[in-house]
Structure 1
Amino acid sequence: MGLTKFVLKRPVTAVLCVLCLVVFGLSSVASSTLEETPEMNMPIMLISTIYAGASPDDIDELVSQPIEDAVDTLSGLDKVTSTSNENSSIVMIQYEYGTDMDEAYIDLKKKIDGIADKLPEDAKTPNIMELNINDTAVVTMSVSNKAQTNLYDYVDKKIVPEFEKISSVASADISGGRASYVKIELNSEKLNQYGLKMSDVSQAIASGDFSYPAGTTKTGKMQYSVTTGADYDDVESLKGIPINVANGSVVQLQDVAIVYEALQDQSSISRYNGKDTISVAIKKQQSSSAVEVSNEVRKVVERLENSDKNLDIIVVSDSKDNIMDSLNSVFETLILAVIISMGVIYLFFGDIKASLIVGTSIPISIFAALIMMNFLGFSLNVITMGALVLGVGLMVDNSIVVLESCFRSINSIPNEEYDSGYIEAANKGSLLSRSFKTAAIEGTKTVYLSVFASTATICVVFLPLAFLSGLTGQMFKPLGFTIVFCMVASFFSAISIVPLCYYMYRPQEKTNAPAQKAIRTLQIKYRKMMRVILPKRKAAIIASVAILAISFTIAAQLAVELIPAGDDGSVAVSIETRPGLSIEKVDDVLKEVEKVVSGDKNVKSYMVTYGGGGLSLEGNSGATLTAYLKDKVKDSKVVMNSWKPSMNAIKNCNITMKVGSSTSMMQDSDGYELILKSTQYDDLKQASDKVVKELKTRPEVTKVHSSLENAAPVVKISVDSVQAKAEGLSPMMIGQTVNNMLSGVKATTMKVNGEDTDVKVEFADGEYDTLDKVQGIVLSDGKGGSVALADVADIHFQDSPSSITREDKQYTVTIKADYTDKAGKDTKEVLNKEVAGKYMTGSVSLGVNSINDTMGKEFASLGKAIATAIFLLFVVMAAQFESPRFSLMIMTAIPLALIGSFLLLFLFNISISMTSLLGFLMLVGNVVNHGILYVDTARQYREEMPLEKALIEAGVTRMRPIVMTALTAVVAMIPLARDGQMMQGLALVNIGGVISSTVLSMILLPVYYSMMYRKKKRKQDILREQDVAVEI
């Protein structure tokens, strides 16, 4: 109470302190990092290894499996997954949450270094990196320049370095176009004429361009460094490079090859609105803000365009726009929640000054919370801003309780007169001033402990969030802390700012306030209804059980997902083309997809990319088209669904679509998905083929495909080790030679027009483009002679999967399909049992996808948090009432909230997710507070009147504050429920739960109280009778 008296005694000091809070709060907002969601760090390491020319089969056997075996003994492992693609292996190591990733990296590097000699000699050194879940493009741009003949080289050499100079930029990946290089096109006949090999030419070029330090020399007082080597300044100068021939003569490079500038084979595609372009994807450093990166990138774009009038850089997507739109939306919701709360206060008190008191205390509490958030390094994002919105409904409770107590206090001050519902003093002057000051002090003093207990109750509910690990902890721990900050700030605001404003504004409670008539009507009807209900205790118990049964019946109808799907106004179309298609055929498929999208009038723009930079777990056959919809589109999913028939008709590919969202990578597939696993690849392939074949006959699904079907045809060269050794060769030597002849060899790098350019030695296009030509390759043996490849190896066609996936040393296959109109809610379970179940024999078993696995773990974690919160509430209430019995009775109000929560989720078609489960956690505190108010009043009245009357009058007395706080909590969350997207489920759970628990607990709590009191009284009577019998 010292704080209340202090602010009333020193109002100027108090106002200045409030001003400081506002200034520091605004400063905290200005210095806070802006993000769409809290930054999440996954305990995952990736090991990528390049093995050029190797098939997925070879990658799996020679690279992926040795790495899996090496890391298997590491501590803290949760899961090890390997993906073997053509030319590359990616092993993903998932650790348990809480693992020290710095130590994990050191231990992992030791393991990988220990098996380096077991990997193929020509495989590159494995690269270890930590997975960053936030490693997505912050800004994507389309670059064009009509004055450039080779746009790729221009962007790669001139544009990308400018973006990479930005300290907050991690990388700038480009896609589309073809890089130029210097091609040394060998003439096979000339090589044979001079007895030269490809390696002789590449070594001559490399040594000819070799620069070597030769010491120093002095001239007068100056000392100079001396280097030796031949300089080749242009393509023409390369033609004169000398090459030694076996007979002792020397020929020039131009005698055995054609030297010219060429374009590399196309490996990536990029188009913007149907026009070929170069796309640049900017990724941020892990510690940087997306908004900061976006601002810096746009400055560079403006500077580059000003320096070159022919340059046109279009910002296709910018995550800053989505972030600012989301935060502005939440900010507007916050303002609206405060205004609505003020409106509710006016309805009950009838004085705009009372609303202004609450309207003053809430922003001050928010500013105080923002200061604490900034101190702990929390960013401003949808989650923390949403917590502030949720906090409005909780913070206003404390202010309402204190304000109502002040009104009651001034009504009890003697020598005051009332007229027409207005409180008027006999003298207007010092007497009136003392009356309001006394009312402010006494009113706050009366409810000080209950306000403290209410605040502690809410804080206790969110305390378990501080100890959550995993994805849930990283995403929602800031929410828990933010609400706790809000509640602590609201407590101090309620016992200082509210009484101060009450004293300064001097509001007058009107007995004819808009809501007073409705409350009085409710109180009259409540008395009549409870006189009928209270004696019917068995009926009340049956009704409670029925309510619970209905609640769980509704819950069973709800879908389940990990994170609610957002909608940023875009649609992501993933196109997986059939393995083995040439890039020309892939381009044809992409143009068909573009045709579907471009024909929709709702599409503002679109970009398609295939290949390009960046690490991919999906192999080499995946492309992505992102369609950006017009602002008028309210539901992107409707537009997306309209494309499905046309997309399904496109051949040679599998297409999946998702609405764009910052959490899209945590969304499960909308269609049917089945995962099979086995230690034996052949068994898995056989089972997968049978399942796919039978699923194609089922009417519930269409577009059935598996990750193992449509294997890519490869040319398999099986070396005869014995025969090769007899010729002085090894399988490794043969593989390296064939790879060089088919793919070429990078000999050196030289300056062309001032830019570093690769020089590659290659055979002419078409030299080895058929199987017969490959079989005709002639190898140099170890004796100075030659031998045909066909003499030391068997060369044949063989189907190979586009990628091979293993999880915890078991091969896995994913079977996907789209649902048809004949599918029902239980289709997945039916198909798993009737189709897949038949083939779960031997080593083949069902697997669980990563999203469902994560969802199970995170739901269990949140479930423990809810259980812990309920237990802590029980402890707090038992200590408060000195009665575990009454504490348990109050907690019976919690199940009564379920029917309202589940019903609203069902009506709005919202899934059960992490955010809606968090809503149940928050609901526990709201519901229990109302129960505490009722039970505390009933205990007081029980000492003055009969039990039945005490229970009814307690409900009548507490009806107004309970209805007021419940209504405020509900209306404050309506804007979030309407526009909240990610937080919508949380808001709906609380709205429905507060409404149902308020209504039902006001009816059923008196019945529970009556039953418990009578049982306790009977027990006391029995004990009393036993004591009397003993005395006799």
Structure 2
Amino acid sequence: MNITAFSMKNPYVVIALVLVVVALGAFAFFKTPTDLFPNTVPPQVVVITVRPGSDAADVADKITQIIEKELNTLSGLTKVVSTSRDEVSSVNAEFDFSKPIGEAVLDVQNAIGRVRAQLPRDILEPRIYRITDATRPLVTLALSPKPGSTKTLAEIRLLAENQIQDEILTLPGVADVDVFGGHQPEVKVRVDRDRMAANGVSIGEVAAALAKQNVSAPAGTIYSQQKEYLVKTTGEFANLQQIRDLPLRNSNQGLLRISDVAQVSLGEVEQRSLYHGNGKPAIAINVLRPDNGPTVSAIQSLKGFLPQLAAQHPDIQFEITDDQQPLIDLNVNGMRGSLWQAVVLTVLVIFVFLADMRAAVVVSVSIPLAFLASLVVLWFSPYTLNMVTLSGMIISVGMVVDASIVVLENIYRHYRQMKHPDAALAAREGTSEVAMAVTAGMLTTVIVLIPVMFSGGYSQQTMRPLNLM
């Protein structure tokens, strides 16, 4: 028994399957993550090494070349790009698409560990960053004081790096928050040389006293017969007054404190960067998603949380200066609009050529069913609803409609040629006559696309979602 005979004999089974496809497709339409493009950025790992006071030539000779030479031994490596500047070495290792980003990061960490002894001792610890599609910020927020507010940008940055950052990280779909824009707060201790000389205090004593006191560390364990107690040394400064009251020495003349030889104030780190949002100085926050995480839903959750955040900080102005969602919505909605326009135009074309509204309606049913079935497949796949997968849907819907028109026209031809018209017989004969040719034509297209799915590299990453549809 072929598919046509089974369908005609068991119409309720077909109706049930159609309803299942409609239900799952409608659910997938609202639940499938939406993005602009599929993930096409190859796994990349960047090693940043800082050596204060070193010029570019020394950085290239003593840091960059050593790291680059070791990274070239890693498996799956396709390209290494390095940059040496004054005080900073940057080495970007790009790997093949088949290498997981976690494995790439681990290989780079091990490579840095092998050459760590060959690097200069006065470098800062090398920092390793992973580069993926998730590195591109979803949203950039600009935080600035409202007119009449007494808050400074340094105070706003302190809030952004603590309370605001922690609150944003609790939102669904948000993996990381990056705060930048300068104005980093810093405690400044300005010593008075005359007072130091009068009290016989050196700058080293002041620095040692500050470093020794500003510490929080475990101090051991006390055991008793019934309990044990963890002992902790707490000496971190809670406010500026505690720094001013810090004793330097105790002599016959009394207790000498920091405030006796220096002025303590809250200032800013020397400006090495700045940010302007919508034409005014501000502190910026980049919101990032996890690898393969949803884009649009994460942006929507952040935008929904902004009014609450603004209510908690009424003297801070929150503005969105960069946002991926408008571009994604513009392109995806445009592709969806094109799909529905294709449905209408197809029905009109069928009606014009077959001159039968019933035939046009029958074929038009296959269009949304094909679209919903593709959405179900996409929902269970690791891909998102983007321009590539939507293009694949449009192509697949076109193939289904093309086959539907051929089969329907052949059924109508058989029906009109019968002396005693029998719709069921015409459906069986008309379908069986062209079924093999239609199936062969569709399989030919599928077979041509299969090698592209396993071509490797950028082509595979881009075309596999399209071919899946």
Q: TM-score, normalised by structure 1?
A: 0.42
Contact 1:80–1:93 under 8 Å retained in 2: yes
| Residue of structure 1 in register with 2:15 after alignment | 15
| Residue of structure 2 in register with 1:54 after alignment | 54
- 2:455 maps to a residue whose letter is L
| Residue of structure 1 in register with 2:465 after alignment | 478
Residues 368 and 160 of structure 1, relative CA distance in 2, 3 Å threshold: same
- For residue 185 of structure 1, the aligned residue among 183, 190, 195 is 190
Contact 1:184–1:257 under 8 Å retained in 2: yes
CA drift of 1:109 comes to 2.5
Partner deviation per Cα, 1:851-893 (whole Å, 9 max, x = no partner):
xxxxxxxxxxxxxxxxxxxxxxxxxxxxxxxxxxxxxxxxxxx
Tell me the distance in 1 between the aligned counterparts of 2:39 and 2:406: 37
| Residue of structure 1 in register with 2:90 after alignment | 90
Residues 43 and 316 of structure 1, relative CA distance in 2, 3 Å threshold: closer
CA drift of 1:347 comes to 1.6
SS in 1 for 2:293: coil
Equivalent residues in 2 for 1:493-508, closer than 5 Å: none
Residues 171 and 253 of structure 1, relative CA distance in 2, 3 Å threshold: same
- The answer to whether 1:400 aligns with 2:405 is yes
Residues 253 and 139 of structure 1, relative CA distance in 2, 3 Å threshold: same
CA drift of 1:447 comes to 0.6
Partner deviation per Cα, 1:216-269 (whole Å, 9 max, x = no partner):
498x99976555565754323323434469xxx985433443222222222332
CA drift of 1:101 comes to 4.8
Residues 244 and 81 of structure 1, relative CA distance in 2, 3 Å threshold: farther
SS in 1 for 2:134: coil
Contact 2:221–2:228 under 8 Å retained in 1: no
| Residue of structure 2 in register with 1:351 after alignment | 356
- For residue 278 of structure 2, the aligned residue among 273, 276, 294 is 273
CA drift of 1:439 comes to 0.9
Equivalent residues in 2 for 1:666-705, closer than 5 Å: none
Contact 1:39–1:474 under 8 Å retained in 2: yes
- 1:443 maps to a residue whose letter is G
RMSD across aligned positions (CA): 2.8
Residues 197 and 389 of structure 1, relative CA distance in 2, 3 Å threshold: farther
Structure 1, unaligned stretches of length 5 or more? Answer: 416-431, 483-1032
CA drift of 1:148 comes to 4.4
- 2:85 maps to a residue whose letter is N
- The answer to whether 1:127 aligns with 2:132 is no
SS in 1 for 2:176: strand
CA drift of 1:194 comes to 6.7
Partner deviation per Cα, 1:587-636 (whole Å, 9 max, x = no partner):
xxxxxxxxxxxxxxxxxxxxxxxxxxxxxxxxxxxxxxxxxxxxxxxxxx
CA drift of 1:469 comes to 1.2
Contact 2:134–2:288 under 8 Å retained in 1: no
Tell me the distance in 1 between the aligned counterparts of 2:448 and 2:131: 33
- For residue 440 of structure 2, the aligned residue among 450, 453, 463 is 453
CA drift of 1:184 comes to 0.9
Contact 2:173–2:295 under 8 Å retained in 1: no
- For residue 162 of structure 2, the aligned residue among 157, 165, 168 is 157
Contact 1:326–1:382 under 8 Å retained in 2: yes
Tell me the distance in 2 between the aligned counterparts of 1:206 and 1:262: 19
- The answer to whether 1:465 aligns with 2:467 is no
| Residue of structure 1 in register with 2:214 after alignment | 209
Tell me the distance in 2 between the aligned counterparts of 1:32 and 1:70: 42
Residues 447 and 390 of structure 1, relative CA distance in 2, 3 Å threshold: same
- For residue 371 of structure 2, the aligned residue among 358, 366, 371 is 366
Contact 1:242–1:253 under 8 Å retained in 2: yes
- 2:269 maps to a residue whose letter is Q
CA drift of 1:459 comes to 0.8
CA drift of 1:361 comes to 1.4
Contact 2:278–2:321 under 8 Å retained in 1: no
- 1:365 maps to a residue whose letter is A
- 1:355 maps to a residue whose letter is A
CA drift of 1:335 comes to 0.6
Partner deviation per Cα, 1:502-523 (whole Å, 9 max, x = no partner):
xxxxxxxxxxxxxxxxxxxxxx
Equivalent residues in 2 for 1:788-807, closer than 5 Å: none
SS in 2 for 1:260: strand
| Residue of structure 2 in register with 1:384 after alignment | 389
Equivalent residues in 2 for 1:709-788, closer than 5 Å: none
Contact 2:243–2:258 under 8 Å retained in 1: yes
| Residue of structure 2 in register with 1:75 after alignment | 75
Contact 1:40–1:134 under 8 Å retained in 2: no
CA drift of 1:316 comes to 2.9
CA drift of 1:444 comes to 0.5
| Residue of structure 2 in register with 1:301 after alignment | 306
| Residue of structure 1 in register with 2:264 after alignment | 259
| Residue of structure 1 in register with 2:240 after alignment | 235
Equivalent residues in 2 for 1:511-910, closer than 5 Å: none
Tell me the distance in 2 between the aligned counterparts of 1:448 and 1:217: 84
- The answer to whether 1:118 aligns with 2:118 is yes
Contact 1:116–1:125 under 8 Å retained in 2: no
Tell me the distance in 1 between the aligned counterparts of 2:169 and 2:233: 34
SS in 1 for 2:123: coil
Tell me the distance in 1 between the aligned counterparts of 2:96 and 2:315: 52
Report 1 or 2 for greater relative contact order, CA contacts < 8 Å, sequence distance ≥ 6.
2
Residues 214 and 439 of structure 1, relative CA distance in 2, 3 Å threshold: closer
| Residue of structure 2 in register with 1:141 after alignment | 141
Residues 239 and 223 of structure 1, relative CA distance in 2, 3 Å threshold: same
Tell me the distance in 1 between the aligned counterparts of 2:77 and 2:106: 14
The number of residue pairs the alignment matches comes to 460
Contact 1:139–1:317 under 8 Å retained in 2: yes
- 1:6 maps to a residue whose letter is F
Residues 134 and 120 of structure 1, relative CA distance in 2, 3 Å threshold: same
- 2:15 maps to a residue whose letter is V
CA drift of 1:390 comes to 2.4
- 1:235 maps to a residue whose letter is L
Structure 2, unaligned stretches of length 5 or more? Answer: none
Equivalent residues in 2 for 1:910-925, closer than 5 Å: none
Partner deviation per Cα, 1:958-1016 (whole Å, 9 max, x = no partner):
xxxxxxxxxxxxxxxxxxxxxxxxxxxxxxxxxxxxxxxxxxxxxxxxxxxxxxxxxxx
SS in 1 for 2:311: helix
Partner deviation per Cα, 1:289-335 (whole Å, 9 max, x = no partner):
11121122123212122334434322233222322222111111001
Contact 2:36–2:386 under 8 Å retained in 1: yes
- 1:453 maps to a residue whose letter is A
Residues 355 and 202 of structure 1, relative CA distance in 2, 3 Å threshold: same
Larger radius of gyration: 1
Contact 1:148–1:154 under 8 Å retained in 2: no
- For residue 321 of structure 1, the aligned residue among 297, 301, 326 is 326
Q: TM-score, normalised by structure 2?
A: 0.89
Tell me the distance in 2 between the aligned counterparts of 1:376 and 1:15: 25
Residues 188 and 115 of structure 1, relative CA distance in 2, 3 Å threshold: farther
Contact 2:145–2:315 under 8 Å retained in 1: yes
Partner deviation per Cα, 1:411-442 (whole Å, 9 max, x = no partner):
32124xxxxxxxxxxxxxxxx5xx11111111
Equivalent residues in 2 for 1:921-936, closer than 5 Å: none
| Residue of structure 1 in register with 2:31 after alignment | 31
Contact 1:79–1:93 under 8 Å retained in 2: yes
Residues 311 and 231 of structure 1, relative CA distance in 2, 3 Å threshold: closer
| Residue of structure 1 in register with 2:4 after alignment | 4
Partner deviation per Cα, 1:531-561 (whole Å, 9 max, x = no partner):
xxxxxxxxxxxxxxxxxxxxxxxxxxxxxxx
Contact 2:138–2:287 under 8 Å retained in 1: yes
CA drift of 1:384 comes to 0.5
Tell me the distance in 2 between the aligned counterparts of 1:196 and 1:82: 47
